Amino acid sequence: MRQPRLLLEAGACGAIAHSFPLLDLDKRIGKEKVELILGVKPFKKIDFTLMEEPIFHVLNDNFKKEFKKLLPYTYCYRYAKDFKSTELKKWNSMDIYLCRNVAIEYYGNHVVIDNYEYVEYGKNKVYMKIPTSIQSYSELVKVFEFRDAIADMLSSSIDVEGNRKDYREMLAKPEHDRKKTILSDFDNPDLLIEIKKLFQQDVNDKQQFWMDVMNTVGITVDEEKNYSDDEMKEILHLSDTVFDKCNQFILFEDLQALENAPYLIELFQELQIDIEHFNLNSLENISLTKYLEAQLDECMATYKKQYATYLYDQMKGLEIQQKQ
């Protein structure tokens, strides 16, 4: 049976929670109202000590990178209500560690937390136990208890339950499905771009574009690395001509600009990818429709003039009756 929400907000594991008399109430009632009416105090902090330094799980580093990528998507649901950016700061400061084993001492008792339970220790630091049998991140995110625990951490850290289910489901989705979900839920193509910058201010427009290109061709990207031009060119196996032209002429701050189109087309042809595939892996969608329409109009105008000139040359020596 799930622990009462008033206890889980402190990150209490089951073994500790059950050492107290529990009051099972609807979590929507609110902590303040429960304390005012019933005199029942919620856990705000549980004092314990680590019996030994936790041993990190093999997936810990991978999870930290993935969690950082997840936050902009979950924050989309809070952005409009987080007027002072307090929730943004709380989520940005969360420091979660996946561990093989977490042993704590609580009032003289030795407690080993169960799989997918977690404890908060110190300021913003959270230790969560993960089974050693799970060796891949793709396998881990399929586990409901894991996703539910992460959603619990996000919700409890800001004391808002409303989008818990959204956080849980978002964690299991690949990048392109997360993007589709946000576009569907908010119908604002610029929202994710704005929020991404709040979480990754060190990634400029040019870096983000080339990282999206690398994702599109199936290259694993280190989100924390600042790639040099030479590194990106070598990783993508691009010719000097195409890469240099893209860096010189593409307006990275406005990928939709018509003048970008010829260079994007040349780049995608060399990499053998298409616009649709790129859009599934990028923050900002690209459309070539206006460019191609302009090219078609230009061709039609050119050939219309040529056709008129041809008709004139053919008919200028003819009698009026023949012209008719």
User: Domain boundary at 197, 227, 255, which?
Assistant: 197
State whether 193 and 235 are in the same domain: no
State whether 145 and 241 are in the same domain: no
User: Domain boundary at 158, 178, 197, which?
Assistant: 197
Tokens of 257: 């600009």
Domain that holds residue 263: 202-287
> Using CA atoms, how far apart are residues 10 and 156, in angstroms rounded to an integer?
8
Give 131's strand partners: none
Question: Sheet harboring 118-120: ordered strands across?
Answer: 55-56, 95-101, 125-129, 118-120
Whether 176 maps to a domain, the answer reads yes
How many domains are contained in the chain? Answer: 3
State whether 251 and 265 are in the same domain: yes
Rounded to whole angstroms, what are the CA distances from 254 to 127, 249, 285?
A: 41, 12, 11
Find, among 112, 118, 83, the residue nearest to 13 by Cα. 118
Burial class (CB in 10 A: 0-12, 13-18, 19+), 40: middle
pLDDT digit of tens for each residue in the chain (324 aa)?
333 333 334 344 565 655 555 666 665 566 666 666 666 655 555 566 788 888 999 999 889 988 988 999 999 999 999 998 999 999 989 999 999 988 888 777 777 788 998 888 777 788 999 999 998 888 999 999 999 999 999 998 888 888 999 999 999 998 778 888 998 999 888 888 889 888 864 467 788 899 889 989 998 887 767 788 999 999 999 999 999 999 999 988 788 888 999 999 999 999 999 988 888 887 677 888 888 888 787 777 777 777 667 666 666 655 555 545
Whether 35 maps to a domain, the answer reads no
State whether 62 and 188 are in the same domain: yes
pLDDT tens-place string over residues 109-119: 777 788 998 88
pLDDT tens-place string over residues 275-301: 888 888 876 778 888 888 887 877 777
State whether 67 and 150 are in the same domain: yes
Look at strands 95-101 and 125-129 and give their pairing. Answer: parallel
State whether 312 and 239 are in the same domain: no
User: Domain boundary at 153, 182, 197, which?
Assistant: 197
Look at strands 118-120 and 109-112 and give their pairing. Answer: unpaired
3-class secondary structure, 225: coil
